[in-house]
Structure 1
Amino acid sequence: MSPRKSPTQGSVRIGISGWRYAPWRGVFYPGDLPQRRELEYASRCFSSIEINGTFYSLQRPESFRQWHDETPDDFVFAIKGSRYLTHLRRLRDVDTPLASFFASGLLALGSKLGPILWQLPPSFRFDPERLRAFFELLPKDTGQALRLARRRDVALMKGRSVLSIDRERPLRHALEVRHTSFCVPECAQLLREYNIALVVADTAGRWPFVGEVTADFLYLRLHGDEELYASGYDDEALDNWARRIATWRRGGQPRDMPRIDKGAPERVPRDVYCYFDNDAKVRAPFDAQGLEKRVGG
């Protein structure tokens, strides 16, 4: 399912966060579909999927190569950054671990490597100096990512590194925050300086809900509007998200989205990536399809 794009509008990719969930079998996935073919099936339903296994541990190059080969040519993966960097190291002294993360196989995705999501823990407060130091390390394109990957932990990554690219491609980064201290203009200005998207996260009121435009793209994570990871989105809610996406992709700012910096971002078309993470009750894939129909229409 190819994203739609025109000279006056950015492209839109709507998908799911992860794809291997036992309760989905026989509900979203056909009952007779082998588990090994679930990604193949899901990637024909959506134009993008967020890989969340990369958050929990370093994946192996053969996994990335398999994911690349099982998906359509115009498909794109979003990659969730390692929690070792964000939650355990809390972005301190992450030069080598970050290099190992990029060496682990991301570059094997080639043109299918989409935005990289960095999710901070709820206890992480806004710390502009620490964030700036981390942002300085993030590669802006695959050429920089390759040079970074070469500085990996050689012992740890022996026999499990990808250190080549087909060509240089731009890279995008998004930051998902979960502490209210980030809801200040200084945060938005810092993210704009590095062209890093502030994730629009719908978390049933648990964590900050902000629609600030801070990059040349938008990154949405819809975790459930009433019950975290569980509740679905009704027709009215999907209509509202479709309207907001239509505004963002034209370069506008939805009037009903909370903001932290009243300055007007440059009005230019922006790409939008949107992932449903309300998987607990098998709502995510159907909500994603419902929003896809609305945006497509």
Structure 2
Amino acid sequence: MANTGKIYAGIGGWTFEPWRGTFYPPGLPHARELEYAATHLSAIEINGTYYRLQKPESFAAWAKTAPDGFVFAVKASRVCTNRRVLAEAGEAVAKFLGQGIAELGEKLGPILWQFMPTKAYNPDDFDAFLNLLPEKLNGLSLRHAVEVRHESFLTPAFIDSARKAGVAVVFADTTKYPQIADVTGDFVYARLQDAREDEPMGYGAEALDRWTSMAHQWAQGKSPKGLEYVTDEPAKDRARDVFVFMINGAKIRAPAAAQALLERLGRP
């Protein structure tokens, strides 16, 4: 399809005991789980980086294991985002970025900066934080996404700030927190969190068809109808890469949901 970005679909992490025998074949060595997941999906959100720093050798090994065309989103350290004054996070941001994520090379996807549900919007402080996020790391272009979960972010000022910074605001499909569908960056980052365990694919066929349509519209530069927006101002109409992650909800169904989405997107 002309004038459209790439669409990736995946899960959060790859180590989860209930996936053994449901997603992973029985008897598959644990050391080969990433290899299996990376060949059946097109993206994974690395969660371990949220809790602790990793070794450069680990990032290099993960990149080597995944096939060409696969990408890893990297969840930023909570030390960067779980703080009273975000403007003071410079040292923590530098330490997080310097741990070795550049070893992922061309398989480095967006960096996810997730904020606590209690973190309210302070325009000056949040702008200062966005200014701490570099555009490049060791020659690699960086893409940043912010996931905010406090209702105070439901203001045009925040959307305008994110757009000026070129940072994507995460679209989170959940009833727990406010939904923000405004497209603010040159890519779209969606975290779908409403899977059900009584659905073999996590979502019913109608819901999967709907998210497939949404993904195509985002990739074509459109702002899909039926979502919740903060502003009436649409994003610039241009092709965008789209990253869709099946997160939480019924986690055991996340791989099946991602695979079902990929199948609808044209990947068998």
Q: TM-score, normalised by structure 1?
A: 0.85
Tell me which amino acid in the other structure corresponds to 1:122. P
Aligned length: 264
1:36 pairs, out of 19, 24, 31, with 31
Matched, 1:106 2:101: yes
Tell me which amino acid in the other structure corresponds to 2:260. G
Matched, 1:272 2:267: no
What residue number does 2:146 align with? 175
Partners of 1:78 and 1:114 within 8 A in 2: yes
1:218 pairs, out of 165, 188, 203, with 188
| C-alpha RMSD of the superposition | 1.7
Matched, 1:82 2:77: yes
Counterparts of residues 147-296 of structure 1 (less than 5 Å): 168-203=139-174, 205-224=175-194, 232-278=202-248, 280-296=250-266
Q: Structure 1: how far apart are the matches of 2:241 and 2:146?
A: 16
Counterparts of residues 63-78 of structure 1 (less than 5 Å): 63-78=58-73
Tell me which amino acid in the other structure corresponds to 2:263. K
Matched, 1:58 2:53: yes
Matched, 1:128 2:99: no
Tell me which amino acid in the other structure corresponds to 1:181. S
Q: Structure 2: how far apart are the matches of 1:22 and 1:117?
A: 24
Partners of 2:217 and 2:223 within 8 A in 1: yes
Tell me which amino acid in the other structure corresponds to 1:223. Q
Deviation at 1:245, TM superposition (A): 1.0
Partners of 1:202 and 1:225 within 8 A in 2: no
Q: Which SS does the other structure have where 1:296 is aligned?
A: coil
Provide structure 2 residue ranges, at least 5 long, that are not aligned to the other structure: none
Partners of 1:117 and 1:176 within 8 A in 2: yes
Identity %: 44
Q: Structure 1: how far apart are the matches of 2:71 and 2:135?
A: 17
Q: What do residues 33-52 of structure 1 show as CA deviations (whole Å, max 9, x unaligned)?
A: 00010000000011111000
Tell me which amino acid in the other structure corresponds to 2:178. P
Deviation at 1:107, TM superposition (A): 1.0
Partners of 2:113 and 2:146 within 8 A in 1: yes
Matched, 1:141 2:141: no
Matched, 1:14 2:9: yes
Deviation at 1:178, TM superposition (A): 0.7
Deviation at 1:186, TM superposition (A): 0.8
Which stretches of structure 1, 4 residues or longer, exceed 2 Å deviation after superposition? 88-92, 278-281
Q: Which SS does the other structure have where 2:102 is aligned?
A: helix
Q: What do residues 197-254 of structure 1 show as CA deviations (whole Å, max 9, x unaligned)?
A: 1101012x10011211101110001122579xxx921111111111111111111111
Q: Assess, with a 3 A threshold, how the Cα gap between structure 1 residues 279 and 262 changes in structure 2: closer, same or farther.
A: closer
Q: Assess, with a 3 A threshold, how the Cα gap between structure 1 residues 90 and 232 changes in structure 2: closer, same or farther.
A: farther
Q: Structure 2: how far apart are the matches of 1:136 and 1:219?
A: 20
Q: Which has the higher contact order (CA 8 A, sep 6+)?
A: 2
Tell me which amino acid in the other structure corresponds to 1:26. G
Q: Assess, with a 3 A threshold, how the Cα gap between structure 1 residues 217 and 130 changes in structure 2: closer, same or farther.
A: same
Q: Structure 1: how far apart are the matches of 2:132 and 2:87?
A: 11
Partners of 1:116 and 1:173 within 8 A in 2: yes
Q: Structure 2: how far apart are the matches of 1:250 and 1:259?
A: 18
Partners of 1:10 and 1:249 within 8 A in 2: yes
Q: Which SS does the other structure have where 1:210 is aligned?
A: coil
Q: Structure 1: how far apart are the matches of 2:243 and 2:85?
A: 26
Partners of 1:232 and 1:278 within 8 A in 2: no
Q: What do residues 11-40 of structure 1 show as CA deviations (whole Å, max 9, x unaligned)?
A: 101111111001110110001100010000
Tell me which amino acid in the other structure corresponds to 1:50. E
Provide structure 1 residue ranges, at least 5 long, that are not aligned to the other structure: 1-5, 144-167
Q: Assess, with a 3 A threshold, how the Cα gap between structure 1 residues 76 and 108 changes in structure 2: closer, same or farther.
A: same
